């Protein structure tokens, strides 16, 4: 198609050239151009008289006479008109050819573009397991070679020690027999033989020592690599979220503005509750609020707080609390669960899946009211959000650290359900509460609190 377009353009150009050269020849005999001495292209008197029309009326059906200038202008107009027509025709041909070429290119890309992309993707997908398998085989081969080398070295050392012991025993027997016979020549010869063997043994031990030093160097390098891998693993584990959680919250500093508002999945009014969460405190001093639920009538309905290394759980005010001492360490993840039932007021605290404290008679017969507010990292105290009070929060109660896996149920969970959530390498974040569900319920970080992944 491009070659045909070029041939068409060449034909059009040749046609324009031929017409431009052919048109003037038809008027060559009729045009006479004269030049005077002092004028250029001036119309002479003869041309004027020749172009004048007679005073008498022209005869009917007789064409008027044209001067040489009229003929020249007519010729130029016809030539320019034809040239414009040919250029327009050539331009239209080029546009049509370019549009056709563009259409064919788009059709080609639509037909083969997806095939090429899928082929590249499938090739890369097939090459990945092969590469991993080759790397795994190479690593296994290296480990096997090192194990064989160590085994050969140990065997050689054991054989050397055995031979050395046998030679020493033989020399002692020979020396004793020579001393009994009183032959000092034999004794000196034996000692010389013993010295030669000792020198040989020392040489072999030295060579073996070099080999052992080489193996020791390799072993030390491997140990250094193992230590680095362990350090990287510990660092990665320290930064990762536990129990398969995908997201978490980071409270970077103590601030009166840093907190998180949680919207329950549904309104609730209950006589039992279970609250579970993962927490990694940056600093545990005085009182730090982890979880709080309050209403307009009672801002301290539920509270789960830290007090230095202890965990406290209160229901219906600070007078009804349960405390687990030594449950929290700075910079370490810990799983906490607080369980309460109004029946007999049975309340317990669970640390890393194990019951750490329990108490009966806590807010016995109390009922949690609905339409309250759930906060993470702060409490409303004596104020409530409906009062529209500025600086509602106390900076001394703010929590600093990381938090994830926050869930709440309107029932009492059993020990198996709690311990399953507390597994660090498990999938406890997949277990979600029916009141607050981590990863489902709406959370609104305030201040400098950020969501981490």
Rg of the chain (C-alpha set): 51
Using pLDDT thresholds of 50, 70 and 90, give the confidence band for residue 28: very low
Using pLDDT thresholds of 50, 70 and 90, give the confidence band for residue 209: low
Task: Judge if 172 and 198 occupy the same domain.
Answer: yes
Residue 57 covered by a domain: no
Given 212, 239, 266, the domain boundary residue is 239
Q: What is the pLDDT at residue 208?
A: 54
Q: What is the pLDDT at residue 201?
A: 56
Domain that holds residue 188: 153-239
Q: Cβ distance 98 to 1 under 8 Å?
A: no
Q: What is the pLDDT at residue 30?
A: 46
Residue 187 covered by a domain: yes
Q: What is the pLDDT at residue 40?
A: 46
Using pLDDT thresholds of 50, 70 and 90, give the confidence band for residue 220: confident
Using pLDDT thresholds of 50, 70 and 90, give the confidence band for residue 358: very high
Report the run of H or E that residue 150 belongs to, with start and end.
Answer: helix 68-181
Residue 131 covered by a domain: no
d(CA 446, CA 436): 18
Q: Is the pLDDT of residue 277 over 90?
A: yes
Which range is most confident: 17-26, 143-152, 214-223, 425-434? 425-434
Task: Judge if 227 and 257 occupy the same domain.
Answer: no
User: For residue 377, how far is the Cα from the chain centroid?
Assistant: 29
Given 187, 214, 239, the domain boundary residue is 239
Kindly compute the dihedral angle of the four CA atoms of residues 277, 372, 274, 436, in this order, to the nearest 10 degrees. Answer: -50
Task: Judge if 175 and 315 occupy the same domain.
Answer: no
Task: Judge if 434 and 298 occupy the same domain.
Answer: yes
Q: HEC profile for 249-312?
A: EEECCCCCCCEEEEECCCCCCECEEEEEEEEEECCCCCEEEEEEEECCCCCCCEEEEEECCEEE
Task: Judge if 308 and 436 occupy the same domain.
Answer: yes
The count of structural domains within the chain is 2
Task: Judge if 250 and 381 occupy the same domain.
Answer: yes
Residue 336 covered by a domain: yes
Query: 194 or 341: which carries more pLDDT confidence?
Result: 341
Task: Judge if 256 and 202 occupy the same domain.
Answer: no
Q: Cβ distance 260 to 268 under 8 Å?
A: no
Task: Judge if 207 and 280 occupy the same domain.
Answer: no
Q: What is the DSSP letter of 397?
A: G
Q: Is the pLDDT of residue 407 over 50?
A: yes
Given 223, 239, 255, the domain boundary residue is 239
Residue 409 covered by a domain: yes
Residue 210 covered by a domain: yes
Residue 402 covered by a domain: yes
Q: Is the pLDDT of residue 91 over 80?
A: yes
CATH number for the domain spanning 259: value is: 2.60.120.200
Q: What is the pLDDT at residue 235?
A: 47
Residue 137 covered by a domain: no
Q: Cβ distance 399 to 288 under 8 Å?
A: yes
């Amino acid at each position: 198609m491009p070659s045909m377009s070029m041939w068409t353009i060449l034909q059009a150009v040749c046609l324009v050239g031929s017409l431009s050269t052919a048109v003037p020849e038809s008027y060559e005999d009729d045009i006479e151009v004269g030049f005077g001495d002092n004028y250029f292209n001036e119309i002479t008197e003869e041309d004027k008289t020749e172009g004048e029309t007679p005073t008498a009326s022209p005869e009917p059906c007789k064409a008027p006479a044209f001067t040489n200038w009229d003929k020249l202008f007519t010729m130029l107009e016809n030539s320019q008109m034809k040239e414009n027509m040919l250029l327009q025709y050539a331009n239209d041909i080029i546009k049509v050819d370019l549009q056709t070429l563009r259409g064919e290119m788009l059709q080609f890309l639509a037909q083969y573009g997806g095939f090429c992309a899928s082929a590249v993707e499938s090739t890369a997908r097939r090459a990945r397991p092969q590469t991993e398998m080759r790397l795994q085989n190479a690593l296994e081969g290296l480990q096997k070679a090192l194990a064989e080398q160590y085994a050969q070295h140990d065997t050689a050392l054991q054989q050397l020690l055995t031979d050395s012991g046998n030679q020493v025993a033989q020399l002692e027997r020979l020396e004793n027999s020579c001393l009994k016979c009183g032959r000092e020549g034999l004794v000196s010869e034996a000692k010389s033989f013993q010295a030669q063997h000792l020198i040989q043994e020392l040489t072999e031990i030295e060579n073996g020592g070099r080999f052992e030093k080489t193996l020791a160097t390799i072993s030390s390098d491997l140990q250094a690599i193992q230590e680095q891998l362990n350090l990287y693993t510990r660092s990665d584990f320290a930064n990762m979220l536990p129990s398969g959680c995908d997201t978490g919250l980071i409270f970077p500093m103590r601030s009166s503005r840093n907190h998180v508002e949680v919207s329950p999945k549904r309104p609730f009014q209950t006589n039992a509750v279970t609250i579970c969460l993962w927490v990694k405190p940056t600093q545990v001093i005085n009182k730090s609020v982890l979880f709080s639920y309050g209403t307009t009538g009672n801002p301290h309905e539920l509270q789960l707080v830290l007090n230095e290394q202890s965990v406290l759980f209160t229901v219906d005010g600070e007078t009804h609390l349960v405390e687990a001492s030594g449950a929290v360490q700075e910079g370490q993840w810990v799983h906490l669960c607080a369980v309460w039932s109004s029946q007999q007021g049975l309340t317990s605290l669970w640390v890393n899946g194990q019951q750490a404290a329990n108490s009966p008679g806590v807010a016995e017969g109390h009922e949690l009211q609905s339409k309250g507010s759930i906060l993470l990292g702060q409490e409303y105290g004596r104020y409530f959000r409906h009062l529209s009070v500025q600086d509602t929060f106390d900076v001394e109660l703010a929590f600093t650290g990381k938090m994830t896996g926050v869930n709440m149920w309107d029932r009492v969970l059993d020990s198996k359900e709690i311990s399953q959530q507390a597994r660090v390498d498990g999938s406890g974040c997949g277990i979600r509460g029916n009141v607050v569900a981590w990863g489902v319920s709406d959370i609104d970080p305030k201040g400098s609190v950020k969501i981490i992944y």
